[in-house]
Chain A
Amino acid sequence: MTAPGVTTQTVPAPAKPSGKAARRIKDNLTGHAFLIGAVVCFALFMWYPMIRGIVMSFQRTRRGETTWVGWDNYTRIVADPSFWIAWKNTFLFTILALVVGYVLPFFVAILLNEFRHAKGYLRILVYLPVMLPPASALFLFKYYAYDPSEAGLFNAILKFLHLPTSEWMQSPTMTIPAMVIASTWMNLGSAVLIYLASLQNIPGELYEAAELDGAGIWRRIWSVTIPQTRLILALLAMLQIVATMQLFIEPLILANGAGTQDSATSVAYLIYQHGFFQNDLNGAAALGVIMLIVLAAFSAVYVRLTTKQD
Chain B
Amino acid sequence: MSRTLISQAQLRRGRGRFLYWAVLAVVVAGFTLVFLGPLYWMVTGALKSGQEIAQTPPTLWPRDPQTQNYVDAWNNLDLAKLMFNTFYYAAGAVFFQLVFDTAAAYALSKLRPAFGNVILAAMLATLMIPAMVLIVPQYVTAIDLPIIHVNLLDSPWAIWLPLIANAFNIFLLKRFFDSIPEDLIAAAQVDGASPLRTLWSIILPMSRPILGVVSIFAVTAVWKDFLWPKLVMPSPETRTLSVGIYAFSGGTPQNVVIAASVIAAIPTVIIFLLFQRNIMSGLTTGSLKG
Contacts and interface: CB of A to CB of B under 8 A. Distances in A.
Interface in A140-166: 140, 143-145, 149-153, 156, 159-160
A185 interface: yes
A35 B288 contact: no
B56 A111 contact: no
Given A117-B24, A131-B269, A232-B288, A46 B108 contact: no
A123 B280 contact: yes
A34 B103 contact: yes
A49 to B, nearest CB: 4
Nearest to B126: A46
A125 interface: yes
Interface residues of B, number: 102
Contact of B136 (A113, A159, A211, A281): A281
Contacts, number: 307
B165 A52 contact: no
A193 interface: yes
Nearest to B169: A38
A281 B130 CA distance: 18
B134 A53 contact: yes
Contact of B258 (A140, A248, A289): A140
Nearest to B42: A140
B57 A129 contact: no
Interface in B219-261: 220, 223-224, 226-227, 231, 241-243, 245-246, 249, 254, 257-258, 261
Contact of B276 (A45, A124, A268): A124
A204 B224 CA distance: 39
A37 interface: yes
Given A34-B106, A46-B129, A125-B31, A150 B56 contact: yes
Nearest to A31: B113
B141 interface: yes
Nearest to A42: B165
Given A115-B27, A123-B280, A291 B133 contact: yes
B31 A242 contact: no
A128 to B, nearest CB: 6
Contacts of B288: 194, 197-198, 201, 232
Interface in B108-127: 108, 111-114, 116-117, 119, 122-123, 126
Q: Which 7 A-B pairs have the closest CB atoms?
A: A31-B113, A204-B3, A38-B104, A197-B284, A49-B137, A34-B107, A136-B261
29 contacts: A1-B116, A28-B114, A29-B113, A35-B103, A35-B108, A37-B164, A38-B101, A38-B123, A49-B134, A49-B137, A56-B136, A113-B4, A122-B28, A128-B269, A133-B264, A135-B226, A140-B38, A144-B258, A153-B41, A160-B57, A185-B34, A197-B288, A207-B4, A246-B131, A248-B132, A249-B226, A272-B135, A275-B135, A292-B130
Interface of B: 1-7, 11, 23-24, 27-28, 31-32, 34-36, 38-39, 41-42, 45, 53-58, 99-101, 103-104, 106-108, 111-114, 116-117, 119, 122-123, 126, 128-142, 145-146, 161-162, 164-165, 167, 170, 195, 199, 220, 223-224, 226-227, 231, 241-243, 245-246, 249, 254, 257-258, 261-262, 264-265, 268-269, 271-273, 276, 279-280, 283-284, 287-288
